[in-house]
Structure 1
Amino acid sequence: MTLRIGISARLLHEPPAGLGLPQKRLQFLESSMAHWIMAHGAIPLMMPFVDEASPQLVNRAPVAEMVELLDGLVLQGGIDICPETYGEALRHPDWAGDPIRDRYELALLRGFIEAGKPVLGVCRGAQLINVYFGGSLMQDIPSDCEGATLHQDTARYDRLMHDVSFEPDSLLATLYPAPLPHRITSIHHQCVNRLGDGLVVEARCPQDGVIEAIRHAGPGFVLGVQWHPEFHLNLDEALQGLLDSGPVMQAFLDAAWASADRPRTAATA
């Protein structure tokens, strides 16, 4: 059997006019995320957002049924998390985020955690995991962390890189035993501030101490990384030397096999 991995949808509430879909909310899956999962032999399936305020809605979103059909959840990156979602007041309109997407993804996250199925959060997804467990975020690293290194550069986007160091005895240190700092992509201006209940820090940026990865210390697999491992595939010359994305995905899929109530064949072992 092949693992079926659910991926949360990215939402586009007001599509550009040139797409020919005026007044239609779009939901989409970024292709490199799908490729990262498929490269390891699993099937990526986007979990549809259902607007429960829509007059066309007949039934509530069947989160429990979708969770039952799938073997794990990957939370995509994207727009900021709304400060009100973690109980803070918005300090700047540019950081308002998307509370609709917050509610949608928190419901998915809750469903998979309660079912004991693994969760992997990428960038925004790592931040959402922290919020789910009662933590908070820095709304803007340059404003909240004096002297911080650059973590986001709109002009360079996925060409901005910095080092990351793994905490001793962490899962990531086990997956990547080389002791030297590793290079990763950085596309975020927000990060973990107050750590959520039951979470442990897995990685930091050595230049400023910004938290770059977190993990739930309880049973099961719940891991969030602040960088974009899916962007580390098929690297061009400018991006050579970035952290191998394979071990993180394989650890997540191994956890999915461990929790799946289905046979694992020799081809997928």
Structure 2
Amino acid sequence: MTAESIFGATHDVLRVATYNIHKGVQGVGPARRLEIHNLALAIETLDADIVCLQEVRAMNRREASYFTGWPEVPQAQFLAPEGYESVYRTNAITRDGEHGNALLSRWPIVRHRHEDMSDHRFEQRGLLHAEIQVAGVSVHAIVVHFGLIPASRVRQTDQLKRYIAREIPLDAPVVVAGDFNDWGTRVRRLLHVDSLHAFEGPRTLTYPSRFPVAQLDHIYARGMRPLSLAAPRGRVWSRMSDHLPLIAEFTLPDRIAT
């Protein structure tokens, strides 16, 4: 199964994917299994220009000693298909290691930065912002992973909007993707007011991956025309993470003009 067969890809669009990879491990206790190798193949299959990842491990001493085949390089670097650039920034530091957001890009990454979005001491959250040169167009991509508490998500949405207003030119195309942990539509409504638009129509369910009942993962955009939105389904995808990947396609401003 290829990304082209699922999404009807052409070379005239920008394809963006977001995926919470659950730190590359599925299951709990002695039954847990290493999925990072399967995830690497899956991400390559998506054939996205920009891949936004959450719950990515930079390192974890406990899991590295437990699993045979644990990658010798950080997960973001390991997951990047051949020819892609990768950037990673830590959100959370734990007793055994650290994890955060990552971005993989087929196009050159001009610069990137991180901002702490932690709302309280029990959840360490952040955003990763990368400026990417896509066929002569400067595209700003932001990876987020919002908190579990509704009030936290509202404050993090306000922080995200302030960040975009402060750091990104008003006429620049922007894509914001990630796990928003929002079971309703509150975050969507708040972002829409700030000209960040989601795809219209029925929800594309992504969680839990085995029997999806909610769309916790979203891709919002400004300055680009939305073309399609989809999430692959099936047993293979449900085994790799508790989330399904979400893939969107957009027409860039120069394509719109022509």
TM tier, smaller: 0.3 to 0.5
When normalised by structure 2's length, the TM-score is 0.35
Q: Larger % of strand: which?
A: 2
When normalised by structure 1's length, the TM-score is 0.34
